[in-house]
Structure 1
């Protein structure tokens, strides 16, 4: 049976890991300043994992997400799985971040490259 373990790392941040037997099958990937922050993240994984989409490497895509300041941001993932662009700023609304993605989609292909 799988279980979530919440623990304090050597740097004093709280993290979680999901284990199955002796195997770690997932971890938080980032530290949290409080134990409650790590437990909140566990709850989000518990609530969202079963319905989450699977995006396979090899397909470039944009990710739209909320940051720690509760603002919307985007990042572009290349076909090799690496982040190649991001919004650089937060947006107060999801629609604002979507509009920024649409601007990149429509403008990047024809944009001139110059030295600054």
Structure 2
């Protein structure tokens, strides 16, 4: 590759030549177009099953109960997100539907 180009050569390379392109006129011919045989229909190929992409998941562990200072149960919720705050909020929202008191113990990635 030649790196010693003049300014005019660089302009032509970037922007094309300043002269308009020559016009090409098609000649009207009286020859007929030959008949073209119809191509056979192509059968659609079965789609390949793509492998599932890795989805980030977080495991939220909580202690839940309906009685204050009563017997607690451990509840595990898996969230499909990278944000620990969103995973925690989603888990607490889900647990509040059934339990009155919810305490988040840990949020770990899987």
Query: Taking structure 2 as the reference length, what is the TM-score of the superposition?
Result: 0.24
Between Structure 1 and Structure 2, whose CA radius of gyration is higher?
2
Which has a greater percent of helix? Answer: 1
Q: Identify which of structures 1 and 2 has the higher relative contact order when contacts are C-alpha pairs closer than 8 Å and 6+ apart.
A: 2
